[in-house]
Amino acid sequence: MKLPFSKKKTVTEASLSFTFTRRAMVVGGLQAGIGALLVSRMAWISVAENEKYNLLSESNRVNLTLIPPRRGWILDRNGRPLANNRTDFRVDLIPERMTDAEGTIRSLAQLLALSPDEVDRIKDELVKSAGFRPVQVAEKLSYDQYAAVSVRLPDLPGVAPSQGFSRNYPAGATVGHLLGFVGAASAKEYVERKDPLLITPGFKVGKDGLEKSFDRDLTGKPGAKRVEVTARGKIVQELTTRPDTPGNPIKLTIDAGLQEYAGRRLATQSGSVVVIDCHNGDVLAMASMPSFDPNSFSDGISHVEWDMLSKDDHVPLRNKTLQGLYPPGSTVKPMVALALLEAGISPMDTVSCTGALRVGNTLFHCHKRRGHGSVNMRTGIAQSCDIYFYQMAQRIGMDRIASMARRVGMGQKFALPFPSQSFGTVPDPAWKLKKYDQKWQVYDTVNATIGQGYMLINPLQMAVMASRLATGRQLMPNFIYGAHREAPAPVGVKEEHLVTIRDAMSAVVNGGGTGGAARINIPGVMMAGKTGTAQVRRITMAERGGGVRSNASLPFKLRDHALFQGFAPFDNPRYAIACIIEHGGHTNRIEDAPMIAADTMTFLFDQAKAMEKLETLEKDWGGPPAERMARQMAAWRLAKAIEKGEAPPEAANAANAANAVEGSNAAAPAPAAATDADDVPPPPGSDPAAAR
Amino acid sequence: MSIVPEPLTQFPWRVLGILLAIAGFGTLVLYSAAGGSITPWAINQGVRFVLFSGMALVLSRIPLELFARFAFPAYGVVLVSLFLVELIGGVAGGSQRWINLGFMQLQPSEFMKPIIVLAVARFYALLPVGEIRRWNAIWPALVLIGIPAALVLVQPDLGTAMMIVAGGVTVMFLAGLPLRLFVGSGLAFAAIVPIAFSFLHDYQQKRVLIFLDPESDPLGAGYHISQSKIAIGSGGIFGKGFLKGTQSHLDYLPEGHTDFVFATMAEEWGLLGGVMLIGAFMLLFRWGIGVSLRAQDKYARMVAAGLTTTIFFYVAINLMMVMGLAPVVGIPLPFMSYGGSSMLTVMLCIGIIMAIDRSGRRSGRRGNWA
């Protein structure tokens, strides 16, 4: 068979030999050509791209480990640390480097004696983790524990022990809401900023409060450690180390002692205390209790602890000072009185209080059923007579009252370094029309004059109001020590009017008024103030007929809020204070707003005396907040264990007994409880009103 | 006549010098790859080189006729052992390339690389001159190549199969088959590749794409090539210095003493070392092609050129692989990569070429005297 394309060409031995020679030359030439190609390819890689590959080789060889910078301290006005750093040994997990997550966690749990809670938290976080973000296993380890993990590293891929610093808050829970806390950066934050520091084990960012607002200032410059490593991560030698630059310290206007005192003095109540310096508006204390312990938050909070905090009806996770909004109740009466004076009403003008007043077709009650009789402005404030204000407010109209309310800081927004704030409202006819498309009614004015209805305030705004009533200047709250500020604008009222108001507010406390519990026992220092009660439920006509239920008999969530605002000394104000007790209901005189405010104020004039009283009282409350929280935590843990069937119920009873100190105390009857305050039928479309 | 005695002038000094230079350099690189230690690689490699050089010199004494006569029987034996490997491998489960003889592990596919050249060359030497342009000149060679190539391919060992095909086809080309056959099938192959690519599985396509752009998957399949290029690229012109390579010493370069030994070398000796090494190999190939051109015998010249090309394929495929021009197929670099099988094969080739060289000189001298 012939190939189809072959031509008649004589193939001889000689021609074949010639073909071979030619083709062997071609093969040789091709080989030389490919050799040249290989040389030029190699030259391209090693000469033209040398720089690129050198860099890659170096980044292979050298492992750059960032050293998290120490966080700047947060100091109080006297230089005492509110937040500092503590040396510690810690262990993290890098999820993407782990091969056997279950086994690794098991060995770690054994080596570090981790509790089941902690193990659950670690597993939780591992599931949520983005892979490259470290998950904290434990910190505050002893050197022995650290060493035990370190020597087993070859068997535990993905485990990263390190020595570093962790955030420490000496005052614990009492600064929780003020300072916030720190924590490992979230995957979202890393995606946004792409800063490798964020995924360095041990590095924390501010997560809430001032820690979050001043995060950039507090974060220093990271140090770096260059080590030569093999492909398997074994360290061959350390090359260079650059130390970190700590972050800048921040000095606050807060007085650490006062802050802690206020937090402790809030006792077992859910409440808030704010103290403002009347000279310049500096905030000396801003406590919101109960709170979380920022130390345990910054360590990575356990699932159970979080669960407990989020289910507590005293809302420890909410900063009540800045996020809590309350009807101000009768605490607005001095402000309303100032508006009356400005409108030309004489302080000596009297109103006859018979216990109730008909406005339109609604009957408004005074908190004193029998009535106050003939009431002038001083008595109206001191006795908190509702009828006086109902009548007088109708004479001048809501717009003038709203103008005064705004000038003393109600409804005003302050540019404060906190990530989340809620501000109260000052309603007036224009506001209501815009918001509800409804005309302002007379009963709206009546409600507003006793701080109910649409009117809302947060505790900080209330402290600002107290300071402005005290000084007649529009002081602005401030948290940064020595911050430069414009001189405050005047409130725009006559000094003699202010004197009248201060005198009346002093009468509330010292002149047989409703705030007798706020009297302070310091020679030459008299407290002035105004009490308030904010009702949170409607009182039906039927209930009123059968007698209004006492607060003590109501469930916690339905009890009235108790409020107090004031300043001292009354004739030459130095400090202004505001205190709100959520659902306090005036059931416990010692843990009520006036006395808490008075004791906190006492601390500013005589620390020893205030502390002595607090320490005596704390014995009845079950110790300082940290102790009580630990006990609450233990009881909660046990309850959870019983739910899961892990512990016998008898053990729980024992724990409850241990916890009973707290419980019995909360139920203790108020010694000199006030007359029950709420005697006003709720007008349609608005919250029920009450005053005291 | 020279005053130097005949056995000494006859001794292949030149080629042995080239081999000694390459293998000596290779041993030095292995010494460095082991972190500056002659164990475990450098010493073994050196001893092997000496042993296999001796073997090559013995081979060079064997008359050429013997290689011709035993070409087909040897081919048959290797083919049978390839079948055996396939059977045993099937029993053992998984891919198996060797037969365990007790004292050593025999890898028959390795021997097929030189023997396919001997067998195909033998076929064309026996073919009558006038038949070369007929169909009869093609199909037997294709069968000779196709069966072992297919057997090796299913092992699976793509690199070796490629080398067997390349060695056989090179001999077909040298035998004088019409050029258009090669051009035509080359074009057809180029046309088929994209179509074949579309028929591949996703993971196979991915593998090819990673070869084309290894940086796209630096931690996975592209890791070998990426690290190899980093080693070569970071070496620069003069290298990082003997024993100072970081890619190899810190284990970033995988297989730094076997398939990727060139990268280990290039990192420490730079472009300079690479050019010297490639130059030395080129001298070796020039010698081999030279031998084939000098040879009078049809079989001898085809074998010499074919075996040279086989060694060339080792070098070319390996270097293209380490420089990122070819996928990772597991072809070692002769005399440099640690391992006995490849050195044995290459030394077999060298020994046979030396035998051809020797007989060529003899016959040439005889011719002069006649």
DSSP state of B40: T
Quick check: B273 pLDDT over 90? yes
| Interface residue A31 vs chain B (CB under 8 A) | yes
Q: Which two tokens stand for residue A643?
A: 């739910």
DSSP H/E element including A486:
none
Closest approach of B181 to chain A, Cα-based (Å) = 10
d(CA A73, CA B72): 88
Asked whether A408 and A402 are in contact (CB, 8 A), the reply is no
Contacting residues of B for A16, CB less than 8 Å apart: 129, 132, 176, 298
User: In this complex, do B316 and A17 lie within 8 Å of one another by their Cβ atoms?
Assistant: no
Q: Which amino acid is at B221?
A: A
Q: Which residue has the tokens 């105390």?
A: A665
Q: Provide the token pair at B309.
A: 């090309």
Q: What is the pLDDT of residue B104?
A: 57
A666, pLDDT greater than 60: no
B298/chain A closest Cα distance in angstroms: 8
- Put simply, the chain B residues between 114 and 133 with a CB less than 8 A from any chain A CB are 129-130, 132-133
Q: Does B36 touch chain A (CB under 8 A)?
A: no
Q: Does B214 touch chain A (CB under 8 A)?
A: no
Return the beta strands (E) in A177-336 as ranges: 182-183, 205-206, 223-229, 235-242, 250-251, 271-277, 283-289
Q: How far B246 CA lies from chain A's nearest CA (Å)?
A: 7
Sequential DSSP letters for A536-567: -S---HHHHHH-PPPGGGS-GGGSPEEEEEEE
What are the residues facing A364 on neighbouring strands?
A: A357
Residue A533 in 3-state DSSP?
strand
The predicted-structure confidence for B221-252, as pLDDT tens digits, reads as follows 678 888 999 999 999 999 999 999 999 988 88
Provide mean pLDDT across the span A505-514: 92
Residue of A11, A23, A61 with shortest CB distance to B133 = A11
Q: How far apart, in whole angstroms, are the C-alpha atoms of residue A182 and residue A189?
A: 14
Q: Phi, psi (5° rounding) for residue A289?
A: -130, 155
Structure tokens at B345: 């094969």
For B284-317, how does the pLDDT look when each residue is reduced to its tens digit (9 = 90+)? 999 999 999 999 889 999 999 999 999 999 999 9
- Identify the residue whose tokens are 């090819």: B208
My answer on whether omega of the bond before A290 falls inside 30° of 0, hence cis, is yes
Residues in chain B, total? 370
Neighbour count for residue B92 (Cβ, 10 Å): 9
> Which range is most confident: A543-552, A590-599, B195-204?
A590-599
A27 to chain B, closest Cα gap in Å: 8
Judged by CB atoms closer than 8 Å, whether chains meet at A60 and B230 is answered as: yes
Q: How many CA atoms lie within 13 A of A512 on its CB side?
A: 3
pLDDT class for A527, splitting at 50, 70, 90? very high
Give the total residue count for chain A. 692
DSSP letter, residue A591: T
pLDDT at residue A689 is higher than 60: no
Asked if A3's CB is within 8 angstroms of B178's CB, the reply is yes
For A397, left (φ over 0), alpha (ψ -120 to 50), or beta?
left
**What is d(CA B175, CA A501) in angstroms, rounded to the nearest whole number?**
121
> Could A53 and B229 be called an inter-chain contact, meaning their C-beta atoms sit closer than 8 Å?
yes
Structure token pair of residue A422: 């809620």
Average pLDDT, chain B: 86
Smallest Cβ–Cβ distance between A34 and the set B130, B233, B316 belongs to: B316
**pLDDT at position A547, please?**
73
Distance of CA B348 to the CA centre of its chain: 11
A57·B234 Cβ contact <8 A: yes
Distance, in Å, from the CA atom of A184 to the CA atom of A206, rounded to the nearest integer, reads: 9
Contact B273, B244 (CB under 8 A): no
Q: Which residue has the higher pLDDT, A184 or B155?
A: A184
> What is the nearest CA distance from A40 to chain B, expressed in angstroms?
9
Closest chain A residue to the Cα of B283, Cα to Cα: A32
Q: Cβ distance A294 to A263 under 8 Å?
A: no
Residue A655 has pLDDT above 70, yes or no: no
Best residue of B230, B285, B293 to probe chain A, by most A CBs closer than 10 Å: B230
Tell me, what's the pLDDT at A436? 92
For B178, the closest of A6, A46, A60 (CB atoms) is A6
Listed ranges A469-483, A582-596, A642-656; the one with the highest mean pLDDT: A469-483
- Please, which pLDDT band fits residue A127 given cuts at 50, 70 and 90? confident
Q: Whose CA is closest to A560, among A654, A459, A676?
A: A676
**B230 exposed, middle or buried (CB, 10 Å; 0-12, 13-18, 19+)?**
buried
What distance in Å separates residue B12's CA from the closest CA in chain A? 21
pLDDT attached to residue B188: 93
Using 50, 70 and 90 to split pLDDT, how confident is the model at A670?
very low
Q: What is the pTM of this model?
A: 0.65
Nearest to A21 among B133, B235, B293 (CB): B293
The Cα of A582 is separated from the nearest Cα of chain B by a number of Å equal to 58
What is the ipTM metric for this complex? Answer: 0.92
- Contact (CB<8Å) A231/B170: no
Which residues of chain B make contact with A17, given a CB cutoff of 8 A? 298
Please name the residues in contact with A663: beta carbons below 8 A apart, sequence gap of 6 or more.
none
Here the tokens at position A192 are: 């946004």
Interstrand relation of A74-75 and A250-251 (parallel, antiparallel or unpaired): parallel
Closest CA to A604 of A98, A150, A77: A77
Q: Distance from B170 to chain A by nearest Cα, in Å?
A: 8
Give A60's contacts in chain B (Cβ within 8 Å).
Answer: 227, 230, 246-247, 250, 252
The shortest C-alpha distance from A238 to chain B (Å) reads 14
Predicted confidence band of residue A538 (pLDDT cuts 50, 70, 90): confident
Would the CB atoms of B309 and A27 count as touching at under 8 Å?
A: yes
pLDDT at residue A628, rounded to an integer:
87
The residue assigned the tokens 């075996």 is: B307
Q: Which 70-129 residues of chain A touch chain B by CB within 8 A?
A: none
Residue A60 has pLDDT above 90, yes or no: no
pLDDT at A684 over 60: no
Which residues in chain B are contacts of A32 at CB distance < 8 A? Answer: 282, 285
The phi, psi pair for A534, rounded to 5°, reads -115, 120
Q: Is B186 on the interface with A (CB under 8 A)?
A: no
Res A65 pLDDT > 80: no
Q: Do B233 and A43 touch (CB under 8 A)?
A: no
Give the nearest chain B residue to A56 (CA atoms).
B230
Name the token pair of B195.
Answer: 């179509």
Chain B residues with CB inside 8 Å of A11's CB? 129-130, 132-133, 176
Cα four-point dihedral sign A651, A657, A658, A662: positive
Chain B residues 156-185 within an 8 A CB cutoff of chain A: 170, 173-176, 178, 180
pLDDT digits (tens, 9 = 90+) for A356-375: 888 888 888 888 888 899 99
- Is residue B155 within 8 Å of B95, Cβ to Cβ? yes
What does the pLDDT average to over A34-60?
93
pLDDT range class, residue B218, cuts 50, 70, 90: low
> Beta-carbon neighbour count of residue A4 at 10 Å?
6
